[in-house]
Amino acid sequence: MPEYTIGTILTMIAVIGVELFWLKTGIFRSLNYWLAMAVMFAFQIPMDGFLTRLSNPIVRYNPDQFLGIRWPLDIPIEDFGFGFAMMTLTLMLWTALRRSRREPGQESKHEGGPHEPTHS
């Protein structure tokens, strides 16, 4: 399996593992998290498509280092895995840091932001 693909898969597994076994922020149950991911991908697709377009690429990939599957706009699919991992880890750490700074029993004024599940 190509190096970039392996790196993508391992990074995604590591980030999911950090959430499930260490930070346990509940981010994957948050509608706001998934909306933030949709926004991130909405910006990533045109920008990454511009940078990696086959007609005049700014960023070139060694064909031996990734699967060669490009969709949409000539984007290597591995880029989406790294985008997921980078955004998810950032939001998980942000959530964990906010929670650790609160006094025990203190409610957040901004509960249910893009980085925390909404509690009803």
pLDDT tens-digit series, residues 67-114: 999 999 999 999 999 999 999 999 999 999 998 888 566 655 555 555
| High-pLDDT (> 70) share of the chain, % | 85
> Is 12 within a domain?
yes
Structure confidence at residue 102 (pLDDT)? 80
CB 73 within 8 A of CB 45: yes
Is 27 inside any structural domain? yes
Domain annotation covers residue 118: no
pLDDT at residue 97, rounded to an integer: 94
**Number of domain units in the chain:** 1
Residue 120 has pLDDT above 50, yes or no: no
Please indicate, yes or no, if residue 47 is contained in any of the structural domains.
yes
Q: pTM of the full predicted structure? A: 0.79
Please report whether residue 110 resides in a domain.
no
- Residue 63 maps to a domain: yes
Provide the angle, in degrees to the nearest 10, between the axes of the packed helices 3-18 and 78-101. 20
With cut-offs at 50, 70 and 90, classify the pLDDT of residue 40: very high
Cβ–Cβ under 8 Å, residues 85 and 9: no
Domain containing 57: what range? 3-100
**113 part of a folded domain:** no
